[in-house]
Structure 1
């Protein structure tokens, strides 16, 4: 590494700094990286520069500041409305997954949980059977309840202390040990009850397992979802952002809750977001409420008419 690395004095050359920044902003195929990736790469490099200054390796941060670094990497958290799937598309996609010969029913239960309850995929794969509260079959109320308390994101063997692909973590953006509960539609109750029975799962088992009982692999999830989209959607829809990522199923559910009139504070609680983040992310996707808003504004009345004064 020492033999193939430039000396630290290279950071004093503006041309070298510009070359590094261009590399950070560019993919291996020469295309520009996504805005979020560019912003994250520069943030990480700035952390390295601050560390070098503290260790007295550098005298000052050589990276340009102000608009020069932020204008090109302006980003937004807002969800692209085109990425959402409608109810007909969701039904067709889930049905195709269910009929998939290899692990179809297991994956169907997983995707149905994302669609009806909106957990993050890494939260869903971490759930255990004991985290699902199913109502008595004879009860009139057939809503189930999911307890979400852990996430197991897929980070790669080289990045975990255990050498495993997944790493167990607390919920994103929440205090250590914090949990949340989400109600599950009666349709999901039927799916999960059947899934648990068919798989012969016990309370301590993972709710959604890989073929050998391990954590359901992200590659399997993504491959099944892509195959479903390709089989069900029209060619131009498949090529569009509609449901392109598995995460778009969560976006669809949270948007549907908001469009159905569920208070944002309640949606944020179920989703594991803060209200400001929720509104900033999904405000552009909320629709169907304009007629009601117009009626409210009209009911509020107009300015009173005043007689003409001669």
Structure 2
């Protein structure tokens, strides 16, 4: 923040030190500042610069207490100002989920590099003020409650210049904050990594602006904890028979006429038979599909409708409208689909038609289906299709697990990894690193193969 309310006092002498020093004292917007000099001449020279800047009508910074002519321009950018600049630069091109992640990470650390100041607001208030009022560009003009306005005023005054983050202890403080939740409990490893990536990019942006010579996070390492599990848990993967039973069970769940389960049956079929992400299935249009009466069909995926939250989408809708994940805008992914899915889609169109914009899957009012709605139906289908001990397990616990099952089924059927990766929308490296290759129910078959290789039967001696 800047202020023209500047008071500059006469020089004084600090006689409490072993060698007396000469103090230049001044205030900006009521906030006191001082700087000590060894000689009166040096102190008088610095005071003259302050007076000259004030006479020229320069605004003084409320954090450093200095006018722009003495701050070094870009170098004196505060951390809060840097965060706002970064968000402004990235907002337009960022997806709803990226905006959510960006504001979450920054609101976690904005109040870390601050100078000692009285009246520090509660952490929950500071976080809400940053995440809901300061960082998102569309929300900055909203009327601010009294406590939010006070928190943002405090934050703008207390935020340290970015240049001070070059000190090792300052960067370490940022990392420590990223490792904790608001209740001071350890954050999940993936949460830490996601947030650190955002803060690292912000500080790299500061390097580009000339506010830092190097990214201080490059030199700070977090104490290693347990490595995040990246591989898909094989226990969540259903075999083809279980998948068919789950899809059949959908016709028995829902409202009075059970239309909600039937309305979503082909949607879940896309997740399994075509290994589509839920957001991809929600964006699927009839024009994207080639559905012959017999044989294999084809889907040309071009759009995804991931859940982003109304606060982060440009349209104000809960679902973002984006191109395919990790692909250039307008790029299409072709997925051949087997006859069972072709029949499901044809039956769906015949019974429910399409939304006004051509989407295959929509609510009864034509809206994009909420994740909470299809997750609730999926939970009911699991209770009908699976055995009691399986219902209590992680087997197909989430709709997304159908995608894991679909990819695993392709791999176990002997489809080459490059082809599976192309259909699933992954790189081969990612595919082989995280996707399960073992389908539930094949353990006995694998054991038989091992026994055959050993040249023995499974009878007891």
**TM-score interval for Structure 1 and Structure 2 normalised by the shorter chain:** 0.7 to 0.9
The structure in which a higher percent of residues are strand is 2
SS in structure 2 of the partner of residue 269 of structure 1 = helix
1:7 aligns with 2:159: yes
* Aligned equivalent of 1:118: 275
Which of 334, 345, 353 is residue 192 of structure 1 equivalent to? Answer: 345
Cα separation, 1, equivalents of 2:423 and 2:429: 14
Once residues 254 and 376 of structure 2 are traced to their aligned partners in structure 1, the CA distance between those partners, rounded to angstroms, is: 14
**Residues 290 and 188 of structure 1: CA distance in aligned 2, closer, same or farther (over 3 Å):** same
8 Å contact 1:154–1:166 — kept in the other structure? yes
Q: Corresponding residue for 1:24? A: 178
Aligned pair partner of 2:190 in 25, 36, 42: 36
With over 3 angstroms needed to count, the CA separation of the structure-2 counterparts of 1:203 and 1:194, relative to structure 1, is farther
Q: Which has the larger radius of gyration?
A: 2
From 165, 169, 184, give the equivalent of 2:318: 165
Q: Which of 55, 78, 92 is the aligned partner of 2:245?
A: 92
Query: How many residue pairs end up in the alignment?
Result: 292
Residue 250 of structure 2 contacts residue 265 of structure 2 at CA under 8 Å; is this kept in 1? yes
User: Please, what is the CA RMSD of the aligned residues?
Assistant: 3.2
TM-score by length of 1: 0.80
Preserved CA contact (<8 Å) 1:123 1:148:
yes
Q: Where does residue 268 of structure 1 map in the other structure?
A: 421
Task: Give a deviation string over 1:219-269, Cα, whole Å, max 9, x none.
Answer: 212222233334544454334332122211101100100001111121112
- Choose the corresponding residue for 1:134, options 288, 291, 302: 291
Distance 1:244 1:202, change over 3 A: closer
Structure 2: how far apart are the matches of 1:65 and 1:81?
37
Moved more, 47-56 or 121-130: 47-56
TM-score w.r.t. structure 2 length?
0.56
What is the CA deviation profile of residues 144-170 of structure 1, one whole-angstrom value per residue up to 9, with x for unaligned ones? 222211111111111122212222211
Contact 1:259 1:289 in 2 (8 A): no
1:40 shift after superposition: 0.9
Tell me which moved more, 108-117 or 253-262.
Answer: 108-117
Change (3 A) 1:202 1:164: closer
Where do 5+ consecutive residues of structure 1 fail to align? 299-310
Match of 1:63 among 217, 229, 232: 217
| Matched-pair contact (CA < 8 Å) for 1:94–1:108 | yes
| TM-fit CA distance, 1:18 | 4.8
Structure 2 residues not aligned, in runs of 5+:
1-151, 456-461
1:155-201 CA distances to partner (integer Å, 9 max, x unpaired)?
11111222122222111122322212222222222221111011133
Conserved 8 A contact 1:129-1:202 = no
- CA distance in structure 2 between the aligned counterparts of 1:211 and 1:169, rounded to whole angstroms: 23
For 1:242, the equivalent position in structure 2 comes to: 395
CA distance in 1, matches of 2:181, 2:239: 33
